[in-house]
Amino acid sequence: MIWPFPTRGARGVGPLPDINELPDFAEFMTNDAVMKVWIPEKLSSRIDWLSQSLDSSRPDVVRGLLFEHVYGRVAMHGLQEFARKRELQRSPPSASDDMGGIKFSRRRNVDLEMLGKASDDFKLFLPNKLKQAVVELATVHDLTPSHYVRKALVLSVMGERFHSDWQAAIGKLGNASPDLDKLERD
């Protein structure tokens, strides 16, 4: 996403990213791996909102957010261009194609006060290359893959400010809660 209130136009064409710094986009065309992720209700409702707003399936939204988290914004833009060019080769666009921007929906009213319990058992099919990268990053951060995906989604969908407040609230619980062991270490 780009800032919606521009103050000036683009400054010109910069150098293209080195192709060797980007992943091989063809490796992401097939969702040949599966990962089980527990997603809290608040996060789930925001992913649902994004799904409706972007007119994309919920798994496509999550895969896109994870890809961008793992490989970065430039790689995500490259992947979208790769997919667009592939689609154009298969079938040229028609005049009736919707070329509009994000569609906003007010269908859900979301309580923003807390993340809530991880109650949504989400079975995510994703490219094996992306799953391997997520598992490696989870190991580096000493988290399970499910915890790592949840953390990445919270950071991307709800932001660093929310994540920091959430972690501070968990830290204040200390040993006062008998269920503390069940809380996520995100």
Q: What is the pLDDT of residue 14?
A: 73
**pTM over cut 0.85:** no
Distances (CA, A) of 33 to 13, 44, 78, 135, 180: 37, 21, 22, 12, 32
Block means of pLDDT (10 residues each) for the chain, 186 residues, are 73 75 92 91 92 92 95 91 87 51 33 46 90 96 92 92 81 56 44
CA distance 43 to 49: 10
Distances (CA, A) of 53 to 17, 176, 181, 184: 30, 40, 36, 29
Which helix (H) or strand (E) segment is 102 a member of?
Answer: none
Q: What is the pLDDT of residue 148?
A: 93
